[in-house]
Amino acid sequence: MRKLVFILAVAVISLQSCNAGQAKNKGNENNAKETPAETVSQSSATEGGTVKLNKAKFLAEVWDYENSPKEWKYKGTKPALIDFYADWCGPCKIAAPILEELSGEYAGKITIYKIDTQVEQELAAVFGIQGIPAFLYIPIDGKPSMTSGIARSKEDTKKMFKENIDNMLLSAN
């Protein structure tokens, strides 16, 4: 596995975060009911809606780390936020509907992606994801910034996301 040469800035936003070791518990929560983290809108980027990424789509739309492993080359046309999550993660389930709502509020301005770290383990490894939820903020120009965790309440979590989007993604453009 190729490793990133550049260093992603890591900022812990909250003490509330899932431990990567909790993956063992995922089997207990696999039932037919769809969780908020699984709910992904298929709307167009102008209408909003989060976009679920797999490796092929990531390589095509975000960064082709296989052909450019030593240099970050963002392929998007607008800033993006990537939510690294897992279905068994409680804080991830809290963040998912908030991000879905924000994808509508910021429609046409940013793209909000989701990566299931249990399914896309290689993508999680590329970014060194060890705890979730983790969020990668990708400006059009410059290097991305990583944060992790959510705030103590849903309201504070939404406020945190809005401040990060405005400061890390939209003020730079």
* Cβ(80)–Cβ(142) below 8 Å: no
> Is 18 noted as a catalytic residue in this protein?
no
Residue 57, H or E segment: helix 55-61
Peptide bond before residue 97 is cis, with ω within 30 degrees of 0? no
Find all residues with CB under 8 Å of 38, minimum gap 6, and list them: 87
Q: Is 34 helix (H, G, I), strand (E, B) or coil?
A: coil
> Is 89 noted as a catalytic residue in this protein?
yes
Find the catalytic residue in 37, 62, 89, 123: 89
Find the catalytic residue in 37, 82, 92, 138: 92
- Quick one: 43 exposed, middle or buried, by C-beta within 10 A (0-12, 13-18, 19+)? middle
The catalytic residue positions are 89, 92
